[in-house]
Amino acid sequence: MFCYQCQETAQGKGCSIIGVCGKTPKTAKLQDLLIYTTKGVALYSSLLRKKGHISNEINRFIINSLFITITNANFDDEAIINEIKKGVVIRENLETSLSSDEKKSLEKFSHLNWKFSTDEDIIAFSDNKKVGVLRTENEDIKSLRELLIYGLKGMAAYTEHAMNLGKTQDEIFAFIEKALLATEDDSLTGDELTALVLECGSYGVKAMALLDEANTSSFGNPVITKVNIGVGNRPGILISGHDLNDLKQLLEQSKDSGVDIYTHSEMLPGHYYPELKKYPHFFGNYGNAWWKQKEEFEKFNGPIVFTTNCIVPPSPKASYKDRVFTTNAAGYPGWKNIKVDANGNKDFSEVIELAKTCQAPIELEKGEIIGGFAHNQVLALADTVIENIKSGAIRKFVVMAGCDGRMASRNYYTEFAEKLPKDTIILTAGCAKYKYNKLNLGDINGIPRVLDAGQCNDSYSLAVIALKLKEVLGLNDVNELPIVYNIAWYEQKAVIVLLALLYLGVKNIHLGPTLPAFLSPNVAKVLVENFGIGTISTVDEDLKNFNLL
Ligand code: FSO
Ligand code: SF4
Protein backbone atom coordinates (compact mmCIF):
# COMPACT_ATOMS: atom_id res chain seq x y z
CA MET A 1 0.00 0.00 0.00
CA PHE A 2 0.96 3.58 -0.35
CA CYS A 3 -1.26 6.39 0.86
CA TYR A 4 -0.36 9.97 1.71
CA GLN A 5 -3.68 11.66 1.31
CA CYS A 6 -4.18 12.98 4.84
CA GLN A 7 -2.28 15.14 7.29
CA GLU A 8 -1.60 12.28 9.69
CA THR A 9 0.26 10.18 7.13
CA ALA A 10 3.14 8.15 8.60
CA GLN A 11 6.22 10.28 9.35
CA GLY A 12 4.76 13.06 7.24
CA LYS A 13 5.69 11.02 4.14
CA GLY A 14 3.25 8.19 3.47
CA CYS A 15 1.64 5.11 4.99
CA SER A 16 3.17 2.01 3.44
CA ILE A 17 2.80 -0.66 6.12
CA ILE A 18 -0.57 0.20 7.63
CA GLY A 19 -2.56 3.42 7.74
CA VAL A 20 -2.20 5.64 10.79
CA CYS A 21 -6.00 5.86 10.36
CA GLY A 22 -6.23 2.08 10.74
CA LYS A 23 -6.62 1.30 7.03
CA THR A 24 -5.09 -2.11 6.23
CA PRO A 25 -2.99 -2.65 3.10
CA LYS A 26 -5.81 -4.74 1.64
CA THR A 27 -8.38 -1.99 2.20
CA ALA A 28 -5.99 0.67 0.90
CA LYS A 29 -5.38 -1.26 -2.32
CA LEU A 30 -9.07 -2.00 -2.81
CA GLN A 31 -9.83 1.69 -2.39
CA ASP A 32 -7.23 2.50 -5.03
CA LEU A 33 -8.84 -0.06 -7.33
CA LEU A 34 -12.25 1.47 -6.70
CA ILE A 35 -10.90 4.82 -7.90
CA TYR A 36 -9.31 3.11 -10.89
CA THR A 37 -12.60 1.39 -11.73
CA THR A 38 -14.43 4.70 -11.36
CA LYS A 39 -12.06 6.20 -13.92
CA GLY A 40 -13.16 3.43 -16.29
CA VAL A 41 -16.79 4.42 -15.74
CA ALA A 42 -15.88 8.09 -16.27
CA LEU A 43 -14.18 7.16 -19.53
CA TYR A 44 -17.41 6.08 -21.25
CA SER A 45 -19.80 8.15 -19.23
CA SER A 46 -18.01 11.39 -20.15
CA LEU A 47 -18.40 10.58 -23.83
CA LEU A 48 -22.05 9.65 -23.51
CA ARG A 49 -22.72 12.72 -21.35
CA LYS A 50 -21.58 14.92 -24.23
CA LYS A 51 -24.29 13.26 -26.31
CA GLY A 52 -26.90 14.10 -23.68
CA HIS A 53 -27.03 10.79 -21.82
CA ILE A 54 -27.25 11.73 -18.20
CA SER A 55 -27.75 9.07 -15.60
CA ASN A 56 -28.30 9.70 -11.94
CA GLU A 57 -27.21 6.17 -11.20
CA ILE A 58 -23.82 6.77 -12.81
CA ASN A 59 -23.43 10.20 -11.25
CA ARG A 60 -24.11 8.71 -7.85
CA PHE A 61 -21.78 5.78 -8.44
CA ILE A 62 -18.89 8.09 -9.32
CA ILE A 63 -19.26 10.48 -6.40
CA ASN A 64 -20.03 7.74 -3.90
CA SER A 65 -16.93 5.78 -4.95
CA LEU A 66 -14.75 8.82 -4.46
CA PHE A 67 -16.39 9.48 -1.11
CA ILE A 68 -15.80 5.90 0.06
CA THR A 69 -12.05 6.46 -0.29
CA ILE A 70 -11.91 9.63 1.83
CA THR A 71 -9.87 9.19 4.99
CA ASN A 72 -11.81 7.35 7.70
CA ALA A 73 -14.94 6.86 5.58
CA ASN A 74 -15.01 3.16 4.82
CA PHE A 75 -12.99 0.25 6.18
CA ASP A 76 -15.32 -2.48 4.90
CA ASP A 77 -13.52 -4.59 2.26
CA GLU A 78 -16.66 -6.46 1.31
CA ALA A 79 -18.57 -3.23 0.68
CA ILE A 80 -15.66 -1.85 -1.36
CA ILE A 81 -15.41 -5.04 -3.45
CA ASN A 82 -19.15 -4.81 -4.14
CA GLU A 83 -18.71 -1.23 -5.36
CA ILE A 84 -15.82 -2.28 -7.60
CA LYS A 85 -17.99 -5.01 -9.12
CA LYS A 86 -20.81 -2.54 -9.61
CA GLY A 87 -18.41 -0.17 -11.37
CA VAL A 88 -17.12 -2.84 -13.77
CA VAL A 89 -20.71 -3.79 -14.68
CA ILE A 90 -21.64 -0.12 -15.26
CA ARG A 91 -18.53 0.37 -17.42
CA GLU A 92 -19.25 -2.73 -19.49
CA ASN A 93 -22.86 -1.70 -20.01
CA LEU A 94 -21.83 1.78 -21.10
CA GLU A 95 -19.29 0.35 -23.51
CA THR A 96 -22.04 -1.39 -25.47
CA SER A 97 -23.58 2.02 -26.34
CA LEU A 98 -20.41 3.26 -28.05
CA SER A 99 -19.57 2.97 -31.73
CA SER A 100 -16.25 1.42 -32.71
CA ASP A 101 -14.96 4.86 -33.75
CA GLU A 102 -15.82 6.25 -30.36
CA LYS A 103 -14.04 3.39 -28.65
CA LYS A 104 -11.04 3.98 -30.85
CA SER A 105 -10.89 7.62 -29.77
CA LEU A 106 -10.42 6.42 -26.20
CA GLU A 107 -7.60 4.03 -26.92
CA LYS A 108 -5.06 5.77 -24.76
CA PHE A 109 -7.18 4.85 -21.75
CA SER A 110 -7.64 1.21 -22.77
CA HIS A 111 -5.76 0.08 -19.64
CA LEU A 112 -8.85 1.07 -17.64
CA ASN A 113 -10.80 -1.81 -19.21
CA TRP A 114 -9.89 -4.49 -16.73
CA LYS A 115 -11.93 -7.59 -16.05
CA PHE A 116 -12.43 -10.08 -13.25
CA SER A 117 -14.16 -13.40 -12.63
CA THR A 118 -13.78 -13.88 -8.91
CA ASP A 119 -13.21 -11.78 -5.78
CA GLU A 120 -9.66 -13.17 -5.75
CA ASP A 121 -9.08 -11.62 -9.19
CA ILE A 122 -10.18 -8.27 -7.78
CA ILE A 123 -7.85 -8.55 -4.80
CA ALA A 124 -4.97 -9.63 -7.06
CA PHE A 125 -5.56 -6.79 -9.52
CA SER A 126 -5.65 -4.26 -6.68
CA ASP A 127 -1.98 -5.13 -6.13
CA ASN A 128 -1.17 -4.19 -9.71
CA LYS A 129 1.44 -1.46 -10.29
CA LYS A 130 -0.93 0.37 -12.62
CA VAL A 131 -3.30 1.06 -9.74
CA GLY A 132 -2.61 3.59 -7.01
CA VAL A 133 -0.33 6.53 -6.26
CA LEU A 134 2.94 4.85 -7.17
CA ARG A 135 1.86 4.25 -10.79
CA THR A 136 3.25 7.71 -11.56
CA GLU A 137 7.02 8.04 -11.44
CA ASN A 138 7.58 11.71 -12.05
CA GLU A 139 7.37 13.42 -8.64
CA ASP A 140 5.61 16.55 -9.86
CA ILE A 141 3.10 14.80 -12.11
CA LYS A 142 2.36 12.39 -9.27
CA SER A 143 1.84 15.29 -6.89
CA LEU A 144 -0.50 17.14 -9.26
CA ARG A 145 -2.49 14.03 -10.14
CA GLU A 146 -3.03 13.17 -6.50
CA LEU A 147 -3.79 16.75 -5.49
CA LEU A 148 -6.47 16.74 -8.18
CA ILE A 149 -7.89 13.39 -7.04
CA TYR A 150 -8.05 14.57 -3.41
CA GLY A 151 -9.84 17.75 -4.45
CA LEU A 152 -12.32 15.59 -6.37
CA LYS A 153 -12.87 13.37 -3.34
CA GLY A 154 -13.80 16.34 -1.19
CA MET A 155 -15.99 17.78 -3.92
CA ALA A 156 -17.72 14.41 -4.37
CA ALA A 157 -18.65 14.30 -0.69
CA TYR A 158 -20.31 17.71 -0.82
CA THR A 159 -21.99 16.85 -4.11
CA GLU A 160 -23.42 13.68 -2.59
CA HIS A 161 -24.99 15.52 0.35
CA ALA A 162 -26.56 18.00 -2.08
CA MET A 163 -27.78 15.12 -4.25
CA ASN A 164 -29.37 13.49 -1.21
CA LEU A 165 -31.46 16.65 -0.92
CA GLY A 166 -32.39 16.57 -4.60
CA LYS A 167 -29.90 19.17 -5.86
CA THR A 168 -27.52 18.31 -8.67
CA GLN A 169 -25.54 20.22 -11.28
CA ASP A 170 -24.50 18.38 -14.38
CA GLU A 171 -21.39 20.48 -14.94
CA ILE A 172 -19.97 19.31 -11.60
CA PHE A 173 -20.28 15.66 -12.64
CA ALA A 174 -18.85 16.44 -16.06
CA PHE A 175 -15.81 18.10 -14.48
CA ILE A 176 -15.27 15.20 -12.07
CA GLU A 177 -15.18 12.79 -15.01
CA LYS A 178 -12.84 14.99 -17.04
CA ALA A 179 -10.46 15.41 -14.12
CA LEU A 180 -10.50 11.71 -13.21
CA LEU A 181 -9.41 10.87 -16.75
CA ALA A 182 -6.76 13.58 -16.71
CA THR A 183 -5.00 11.69 -13.92
CA GLU A 184 -4.59 8.73 -16.31
CA ASP A 185 -3.55 10.75 -19.33
CA ASP A 186 0.19 10.53 -19.88
CA SER A 187 0.11 13.24 -22.54
CA LEU A 188 -0.77 16.01 -20.08
CA THR A 189 1.98 18.36 -18.96
CA GLY A 190 2.53 19.68 -15.47
CA ASP A 191 1.13 23.06 -16.55
CA GLU A 192 -2.02 21.45 -17.88
CA LEU A 193 -2.49 19.49 -14.67
CA THR A 194 -1.89 22.65 -12.62
CA ALA A 195 -4.61 24.40 -14.59
CA LEU A 196 -6.96 21.52 -13.86
CA VAL A 197 -6.17 21.70 -10.15
CA LEU A 198 -7.13 25.37 -10.15
CA GLU A 199 -10.24 24.63 -12.21
CA CYS A 200 -11.09 22.03 -9.59
CA GLY A 201 -11.23 24.91 -7.08
CA SER A 202 -13.83 26.67 -9.21
CA TYR A 203 -15.99 23.54 -9.17
CA GLY A 204 -15.38 23.26 -5.45
CA VAL A 205 -17.04 26.66 -5.06
CA LYS A 206 -19.96 25.45 -7.18
CA ALA A 207 -20.34 22.24 -5.17
CA MET A 208 -20.25 24.08 -1.84
CA ALA A 209 -22.73 26.67 -3.13
CA LEU A 210 -24.99 23.86 -4.30
CA LEU A 211 -24.84 22.15 -0.92
CA ASP A 212 -25.50 25.48 0.80
CA GLU A 213 -28.56 25.93 -1.38
CA ALA A 214 -29.68 22.34 -0.74
CA ASN A 215 -29.31 22.70 3.03
CA THR A 216 -30.83 26.17 3.35
CA SER A 217 -33.73 25.55 0.95
CA SER A 218 -34.59 22.36 2.86
CA PHE A 219 -34.00 23.46 6.42
CA GLY A 220 -33.93 27.27 6.40
CA ASN A 221 -30.97 29.58 6.92
CA PRO A 222 -28.89 28.90 10.04
CA VAL A 223 -29.67 31.26 12.90
CA ILE A 224 -27.76 32.10 16.07
CA THR A 225 -28.29 29.14 18.37
CA LYS A 226 -27.10 28.02 21.77
CA VAL A 227 -26.40 24.30 21.83
CA ASN A 228 -26.52 22.28 25.04
CA ILE A 229 -23.35 20.23 25.57
CA GLY A 230 -24.71 18.39 28.60
CA VAL A 231 -27.03 15.38 28.69
CA GLY A 232 -30.64 14.59 29.56
CA ASN A 233 -32.03 11.60 31.38
CA ARG A 234 -33.56 9.76 28.42
CA PRO A 235 -31.68 7.36 26.15
CA GLY A 236 -30.01 9.01 23.19
CA ILE A 237 -28.96 8.40 19.59
CA LEU A 238 -25.72 10.04 18.52
CA ILE A 239 -25.49 11.12 14.88
CA SER A 240 -22.14 12.00 13.35
CA GLY A 241 -20.93 13.22 9.96
CA HIS A 242 -22.28 15.84 7.60
CA ASP A 243 -25.53 14.60 6.04
CA LEU A 244 -28.33 16.88 7.23
CA ASN A 245 -30.94 14.90 5.30
CA ASP A 246 -30.13 11.87 7.44
CA LEU A 247 -30.41 14.00 10.57
CA LYS A 248 -33.81 15.30 9.46
CA GLN A 249 -35.11 11.80 8.78
CA LEU A 250 -33.83 10.51 12.10
CA LEU A 251 -35.43 13.45 13.96
CA GLU A 252 -38.75 12.90 12.24
CA GLN A 253 -38.81 9.15 12.77
CA SER A 254 -37.82 9.36 16.43
CA LYS A 255 -39.98 12.28 17.50
CA ASP A 256 -42.44 10.34 19.67
CA SER A 257 -40.17 7.51 20.67
CA GLY A 258 -38.97 8.71 24.07
CA VAL A 259 -35.34 9.02 22.94
CA ASP A 260 -33.26 12.15 22.43
CA ILE A 261 -31.05 12.97 19.45
CA TYR A 262 -27.52 14.25 20.00
CA THR A 263 -25.08 15.48 17.39
CA HIS A 264 -21.43 14.49 17.28
CA SER A 265 -18.48 16.37 15.77
CA GLU A 266 -19.35 17.79 12.32
CA MET A 267 -23.10 17.28 12.86
CA LEU A 268 -23.16 20.01 15.54
CA PRO A 269 -24.25 22.71 13.03
CA GLY A 270 -27.47 20.73 12.48
CA HIS A 271 -28.74 22.61 15.55
CA TYR A 272 -28.52 25.94 13.74
CA TYR A 273 -31.17 25.16 11.10
CA PRO A 274 -34.78 26.23 11.86
CA GLU A 275 -36.34 23.10 10.36
CA LEU A 276 -34.11 20.85 12.45
CA LYS A 277 -33.91 22.78 15.71
CA LYS A 278 -37.70 22.82 16.01
CA TYR A 279 -37.76 19.22 17.26
CA PRO A 280 -38.04 19.23 21.06
CA HIS A 281 -36.12 15.96 21.38
CA PHE A 282 -33.12 17.37 19.44
CA PHE A 283 -31.20 17.61 22.70
CA GLY A 284 -27.67 18.85 22.14
CA ASN A 285 -24.13 18.02 21.09
CA TYR A 286 -22.14 15.23 22.73
CA GLY A 287 -18.37 15.24 22.87
CA ASN A 288 -15.76 16.71 20.61
CA ALA A 289 -14.14 16.24 17.24
CA TRP A 290 -13.93 12.85 15.51
CA TRP A 291 -10.62 11.70 16.97
CA LYS A 292 -11.89 11.55 20.56
CA GLN A 293 -14.64 9.08 19.73
CA LYS A 294 -13.04 5.98 21.22
CA GLU A 295 -13.26 7.35 24.74
CA GLU A 296 -16.41 9.43 24.29
CA PHE A 297 -18.52 6.71 22.65
CA GLU A 298 -17.80 4.46 25.66
CA LYS A 299 -19.84 6.90 27.73
CA PHE A 300 -22.69 7.62 25.36
CA ASN A 301 -24.51 4.33 26.04
CA GLY A 302 -26.85 4.59 23.02
CA PRO A 303 -26.60 3.82 19.30
CA ILE A 304 -24.34 5.86 17.04
CA VAL A 305 -24.96 6.65 13.36
CA PHE A 306 -22.15 7.65 10.99
CA THR A 307 -23.48 9.53 7.99
CA THR A 308 -20.00 10.19 6.55
CA ASN A 309 -16.31 9.79 7.21
CA CYS A 310 -14.40 10.24 10.44
CA ILE A 311 -14.70 6.70 11.77
CA VAL A 312 -11.95 5.64 14.15
CA PRO A 313 -11.70 1.83 14.22
CA PRO A 314 -12.93 0.71 17.66
CA SER A 315 -10.69 -1.31 19.92
CA PRO A 316 -11.69 -5.00 20.13
CA LYS A 317 -13.00 -4.45 23.64
CA ALA A 318 -15.06 -1.35 22.81
CA SER A 319 -18.40 -1.55 24.59
CA TYR A 320 -20.16 0.40 21.84
CA LYS A 321 -19.03 -1.62 18.84
CA ASP A 322 -22.35 -3.47 18.48
CA ARG A 323 -24.33 -0.25 18.54
CA VAL A 324 -22.85 1.54 15.55
CA PHE A 325 -24.60 2.05 12.22
CA THR A 326 -23.31 3.60 9.00
CA THR A 327 -25.04 5.00 5.94
CA ASN A 328 -24.11 6.61 2.59
CA ALA A 329 -20.44 6.02 1.76
CA ALA A 330 -19.45 5.18 5.33
CA GLY A 331 -18.76 1.59 6.33
CA TYR A 332 -17.01 -0.59 8.85
CA PRO A 333 -16.89 -4.40 8.95
CA GLY A 334 -19.64 -5.75 11.17
CA TRP A 335 -21.50 -2.46 11.44
CA LYS A 336 -24.91 -2.37 9.83
CA ASN A 337 -25.25 -0.03 6.83
CA ILE A 338 -28.64 1.67 6.51
CA LYS A 339 -29.69 1.72 2.87
CA VAL A 340 -31.68 4.33 1.06
CA ASP A 341 -34.88 3.33 -0.78
CA ALA A 342 -35.94 4.44 -4.26
CA ASN A 343 -37.63 7.55 -2.82
CA GLY A 344 -34.53 8.68 -0.99
CA ASN A 345 -35.84 7.55 2.41
CA LYS A 346 -34.00 5.68 5.11
CA ASP A 347 -35.47 3.54 7.80
CA PHE A 348 -33.92 4.28 11.19
CA SER A 349 -36.42 2.14 13.15
CA GLU A 350 -33.80 -0.42 14.16
CA VAL A 351 -31.61 2.36 15.59
CA ILE A 352 -34.55 3.87 17.45
CA GLU A 353 -35.68 0.51 18.86
CA LEU A 354 -32.16 -0.21 20.04
CA ALA A 355 -31.92 3.22 21.68
CA LYS A 356 -35.04 2.50 23.74
CA THR A 357 -33.22 -0.38 25.42
CA CYS A 358 -30.17 1.74 26.33
CA GLN A 359 -29.23 3.87 29.32
CA ALA A 360 -29.08 7.66 29.05
CA PRO A 361 -25.66 9.08 28.12
CA ILE A 362 -23.10 9.79 30.83
CA GLU A 363 -22.38 13.49 31.16
CA LEU A 364 -19.04 14.61 29.72
CA GLU A 365 -19.47 18.31 30.35
CA LYS A 366 -22.10 20.95 31.02
CA GLY A 367 -22.97 24.22 29.42
CA GLU A 368 -23.68 25.67 26.01
CA ILE A 369 -21.85 26.66 22.90
CA ILE A 370 -23.06 29.21 20.41
CA GLY A 371 -23.11 29.02 16.63
CA GLY A 372 -25.18 29.65 13.54
CA PHE A 373 -23.10 32.40 11.98
CA ALA A 374 -23.48 31.35 8.36
CA HIS A 375 -23.67 33.99 5.63
CA ASN A 376 -27.33 34.90 5.96
CA GLN A 377 -27.13 35.45 9.71
CA VAL A 378 -23.86 37.39 9.56
CA LEU A 379 -25.10 39.56 6.72
CA ALA A 380 -28.20 40.34 8.79
CA LEU A 381 -25.77 41.70 11.38
CA ALA A 382 -23.62 43.43 8.76
CA ASP A 383 -24.33 46.98 9.98
CA THR A 384 -23.17 46.16 13.51
CA VAL A 385 -20.11 44.33 12.20
CA ILE A 386 -19.14 47.21 9.88
CA GLU A 387 -19.66 49.76 12.67
CA ASN A 388 -17.30 47.78 14.89
CA ILE A 389 -14.70 47.51 12.13
CA LYS A 390 -14.87 51.25 11.44
CA SER A 391 -14.64 52.18 15.11
CA GLY A 392 -11.62 49.90 15.50
CA ALA A 393 -13.37 47.66 18.04
CA ILE A 394 -12.83 44.77 15.62
CA ARG A 395 -9.31 45.06 14.24
CA LYS A 396 -8.94 41.72 12.50
CA PHE A 397 -10.77 38.54 11.61
CA VAL A 398 -8.90 35.27 11.70
CA VAL A 399 -10.28 32.40 9.64
CA MET A 400 -9.45 29.26 11.62
CA ALA A 401 -11.60 26.84 9.65
CA GLY A 402 -10.83 23.23 8.78
CA CYS A 403 -10.26 20.03 10.66
CA ASP A 404 -9.22 18.82 14.05
CA GLY A 405 -6.94 15.83 14.50
CA ARG A 406 -5.15 13.77 17.10
CA MET A 407 -1.60 15.08 16.77
CA ALA A 408 -0.39 16.96 19.83
CA SER A 409 0.98 19.65 17.54
CA ARG A 410 -2.63 20.76 17.00
CA ASN A 411 -2.68 22.22 20.51
CA TYR A 412 -1.12 25.13 18.65
CA TYR A 413 -4.65 26.12 17.57
CA THR A 414 -5.97 26.25 21.15
CA GLU A 415 -3.01 28.36 22.21
CA PHE A 416 -3.32 30.56 19.13
CA ALA A 417 -7.01 31.23 19.87
CA GLU A 418 -6.24 31.97 23.52
CA LYS A 419 -3.42 34.37 22.72
CA LEU A 420 -5.21 36.30 19.99
CA PRO A 421 -5.70 39.93 21.03
CA LYS A 422 -9.19 40.75 22.28
CA ASP A 423 -9.99 42.93 19.29
CA THR A 424 -9.92 39.99 16.90
CA ILE A 425 -12.69 37.63 15.88
CA ILE A 426 -12.28 34.00 14.84
CA LEU A 427 -14.34 32.87 11.85
CA THR A 428 -14.64 29.11 11.83
CA ALA A 429 -16.21 26.16 10.03
CA GLY A 430 -15.46 22.44 10.22
CA CYS A 431 -14.35 20.41 13.19
CA ALA A 432 -11.26 22.59 13.78
CA LYS A 433 -13.50 24.64 16.09
CA TYR A 434 -13.34 22.02 18.83
CA LYS A 435 -9.87 23.24 19.63
CA TYR A 436 -11.28 26.54 20.98
CA ASN A 437 -15.09 26.66 20.92
CA LYS A 438 -15.44 25.92 24.62
CA LEU A 439 -12.86 28.45 25.80
CA ASN A 440 -15.15 31.37 26.56
CA LEU A 441 -13.22 33.91 24.56
CA GLY A 442 -15.84 36.60 25.22
CA ASP A 443 -17.39 39.05 22.78
CA ILE A 444 -16.85 42.41 21.14
CA ASN A 445 -19.85 44.64 21.78
CA GLY A 446 -22.12 41.62 21.81
CA ILE A 447 -20.49 39.86 18.83
CA PRO A 448 -18.99 36.55 20.03
CA ARG A 449 -15.26 36.24 19.37
CA VAL A 450 -15.76 32.81 17.79
CA LEU A 451 -18.26 32.87 14.95
CA ASP A 452 -19.08 29.34 13.84
CA ALA A 453 -20.53 29.20 10.33
CA GLY A 454 -21.05 25.43 10.43
CA GLN A 455 -19.50 22.37 8.82
CA CYS A 456 -16.32 22.37 6.73
CA ASN A 457 -18.43 22.90 3.57
CA ASP A 458 -19.77 26.07 5.21
CA SER A 459 -16.34 27.56 4.59
CA TYR A 460 -18.33 28.68 1.57
CA SER A 461 -20.27 30.91 3.96
CA LEU A 462 -17.02 32.45 5.18
CA ALA A 463 -16.11 33.24 1.57
CA VAL A 464 -19.53 34.81 0.95
CA ILE A 465 -19.09 36.93 4.09
CA ALA A 466 -15.61 38.02 2.99
CA LEU A 467 -16.81 38.97 -0.49
CA LYS A 468 -19.70 40.96 0.98
CA LEU A 469 -17.40 42.79 3.40
CA LYS A 470 -15.11 43.65 0.52
CA GLU A 471 -18.05 45.15 -1.36
CA VAL A 472 -19.44 47.10 1.59
CA LEU A 473 -16.02 48.45 2.55
CA GLY A 474 -15.43 49.51 -1.06
CA LEU A 475 -12.25 47.44 -1.51
CA ASN A 476 -10.93 46.18 -4.84
CA ASP A 477 -9.43 42.95 -3.69
CA VAL A 478 -10.49 40.38 -1.16
CA ASN A 479 -6.91 40.38 0.14
CA GLU A 480 -7.26 43.99 1.29
CA LEU A 481 -9.70 42.87 3.98
CA PRO A 482 -8.50 42.70 7.59
CA ILE A 483 -8.64 38.89 7.44
CA VAL A 484 -5.86 36.42 8.26
CA TYR A 485 -6.22 32.78 7.18
CA ASN A 486 -4.83 30.19 9.56
CA ILE A 487 -6.41 26.95 8.40
CA ALA A 488 -6.00 23.46 9.81
CA TRP A 489 -6.39 20.52 7.50
CA TYR A 490 -6.74 16.78 7.94
CA GLU A 491 -8.47 15.09 5.07
CA GLN A 492 -9.55 15.63 1.49
CA LYS A 493 -12.56 17.87 2.11
CA ALA A 494 -10.10 20.42 3.42
CA VAL A 495 -8.24 20.05 0.11
CA ILE A 496 -11.28 21.14 -1.90
CA VAL A 497 -11.93 23.98 0.58
CA LEU A 498 -8.36 25.15 0.06
CA LEU A 499 -8.59 24.93 -3.74
CA ALA A 500 -11.91 26.81 -3.60
CA LEU A 501 -10.35 29.63 -1.58
CA LEU A 502 -7.46 29.84 -4.05
CA TYR A 503 -9.93 30.06 -6.91
CA LEU A 504 -11.69 32.93 -5.12
CA GLY A 505 -8.39 34.78 -5.09
CA VAL A 506 -7.54 34.43 -1.40
CA LYS A 507 -3.79 34.75 -0.86
CA ASN A 508 -1.37 34.08 2.01
CA ILE A 509 -3.26 31.18 3.55
CA HIS A 510 -1.35 29.51 6.36
CA LEU A 511 -1.97 25.79 6.29
CA GLY A 512 -1.11 23.54 9.21
CA PRO A 513 -0.16 21.82 11.31
CA THR A 514 2.03 20.60 8.41
CA LEU A 515 1.92 21.02 4.66
CA PRO A 516 0.55 18.03 2.71
CA ALA A 517 3.03 15.23 2.04
CA PHE A 518 1.58 14.94 -1.46
CA LEU A 519 2.94 18.33 -2.50
CA SER A 520 6.26 17.80 -4.26
CA PRO A 521 8.82 20.57 -3.68
CA ASN A 522 8.06 22.03 -7.12
CA VAL A 523 4.30 21.95 -6.69
CA ALA A 524 4.66 23.49 -3.23
CA LYS A 525 6.83 26.19 -4.81
CA VAL A 526 4.10 27.03 -7.33
CA LEU A 527 1.61 27.41 -4.47
CA VAL A 528 4.00 29.58 -2.50
CA GLU A 529 4.94 31.79 -5.44
CA ASN A 530 1.46 32.27 -6.85
CA PHE A 531 -0.70 32.21 -3.76
CA GLY A 532 1.64 32.94 -0.88
CA ILE A 533 0.69 29.69 0.83
CA GLY A 534 2.70 29.07 3.96
CA THR A 535 2.57 26.92 7.03
CA ILE A 536 2.78 27.66 10.75
CA SER A 537 5.61 27.90 13.26
CA THR A 538 5.13 28.76 16.94
CA VAL A 539 2.12 30.66 18.22
CA ASP A 540 4.19 33.64 19.34
CA GLU A 541 6.10 33.86 16.07
CA ASP A 542 2.93 33.55 14.03
CA LEU A 543 0.99 36.14 15.99
CA LYS A 544 3.84 38.51 15.18
CA ASN A 545 4.32 37.45 11.56
CA PHE A 546 0.61 37.55 10.74
CA ASN A 547 0.49 41.15 12.13
CA LEU A 548 -2.00 40.18 14.78
CA LEU A 549 -0.36 41.87 17.75
FE1 FSO B 1 -13.81 17.43 10.30
FE2 FSO B 1 -13.80 14.99 9.61
FE3 FSO B 1 -15.77 18.28 7.97
FE4 FSO B 1 -13.40 16.68 7.63
S5 FSO B 1 -15.23 15.90 10.84
S6 FSO B 1 -12.26 16.31 9.43
S7 FSO B 1 -12.62 18.50 6.78
O8 FSO B 1 -14.45 15.28 8.07
O9 FSO B 1 -15.04 17.02 6.91
O10 FSO B 1 -14.46 18.91 9.23
FE1 SF4 C 1 -2.28 7.08 6.06
FE2 SF4 C 1 -4.01 9.11 6.02
FE3 SF4 C 1 -3.90 7.37 4.02
FE4 SF4 C 1 -4.90 6.65 6.39
S5 SF4 C 1 -5.74 8.16 4.95
S6 SF4 C 1 -3.50 5.46 5.12
S7 SF4 C 1 -3.53 7.80 7.77
S8 SF4 C 1 -2.30 8.80 4.62
The DSSP-derived string for 177-209 is HHHHHHTT-TT--HHHHHHHHHHHHHHHHHHHH
Q: Tell me, what's the pLDDT at 343?
A: 86
Q: Residue 251 is which amino acid? A: L
Distance CA 283, CA 434 (A): 19
Q: Tell me, what's the pLDDT at 6?
A: 98
Q: Tell me, what's the pLDDT at 437?
A: 98
β partners of residue 511? 487
Report which protein residue has its CA nearest ligand 2's atom 3: 3
- Contacts of residue 120, defined as CB under 8 A and 6 or more positions apart, other chains included, come to none
Q: Tell me, what's the pLDDT at 35?
A: 98
Q: Tell me, what's the pLDDT at 140?
A: 98
How confident is the model over 135-168, as pLDDT tens digits?
A: 999 999 999 999 999 999 999 999 999 999 999 9
- Contacts of residue 59, defined as CB under 8 A and 6 or more positions apart, other chains included, come to 163, 168, 173
Nearest Cα to Cα of residue 212 among 395, 445, 438, 377 = 377
pTM higher than 0.95, yes or no? yes
Distance CA 504, CA 152 (A): 17
Ranges of the chain whose pLDDT falls below 70: none
Cα of 43 from ligand 1 centre, angstroms: 30
The DSSP 8-state label assigned to residue 101 in this structure reads: H
- Contacts of residue 348, defined as CB under 8 A and 6 or more positions apart, other chains included, come to 249, 250, 253, 254, 305, 338
Q: Nearest ligand, CA of residue 153?
A: 1
Q: Tell me, what's the pLDDT at 342?
A: 85
Task: Report the first-to-last Cα separation within the chain, whole angstroms.
Answer: 45
Ligand 2 atom at minimum distance from 517 CA: 8
Pocket of ligand 2 (CB under 6 A): 3-6, 8-9, 15, 19-21, 23, 28, 71
Nearest Cα to Cα of residue 309 among 129, 154, 95 = 154
Distance CA 199, CA 192 (A): 10
Ligand 2 atom at minimum distance from 4 CA: 8
Cα of 71 from ligand 2 centre, angstroms: 6
Ligand 1 atom at minimum distance from 70 CA: 8
Determine the residue of 7, 15, 24 to mutate for testing ligand 2's pocket, defined as the one with the most ligand atoms within 8 A of the Cβ atom. Answer: 15
How confident is the model over 255-299, as pLDDT tens digits?
A: 999 999 999 999 999 999 999 999 999 999 999 999 999 999 999
Pocket of ligand 1 (CB under 6 A): 265-266, 290, 309-310, 403, 430-431, 455-456, 490-491, 493-494
Ligand 2 atom at minimum distance from 19 CA: 6
Alpha helices for 106-189 (secondary structure H): 119-125, 139-164, 170-182
Longest dimension (CA), the chain: 71
Q: Nearest ligand, CA of residue 458?
A: 1
Q: Nearest ligand, CA of residue 71?
A: 2
Q: Nearest ligand, CA of residue 453?
A: 1
Determine the residue of 71, 310, 437 to mutate for testing ligand 1's pocket, defined as the one with the most ligand atoms within 8 A of the Cβ atom. Answer: 310
CA 445 from chain centre, in angstroms, equals 33
Determine the residue of 240, 309, 501 to mutate for testing ligand 1's pocket, defined as the one with the most ligand atoms within 8 A of the Cβ atom. Answer: 309
The answer to whether the beta carbons of residues 63 and 163 sit under 8 Å apart is: yes
Phi-psi category of residue 362: left, alpha or beta, with phi > 0 → left and psi -120 to 50 → alpha:
beta
Ligand 1 atom at minimum distance from 241 CA: 5
Neighbours of 540 (CB within 10 A): 12
ipTM of the shown complex: 0.95
How confident is the model over 124-137, as pLDDT tens digits?
A: 999 999 999 999 99
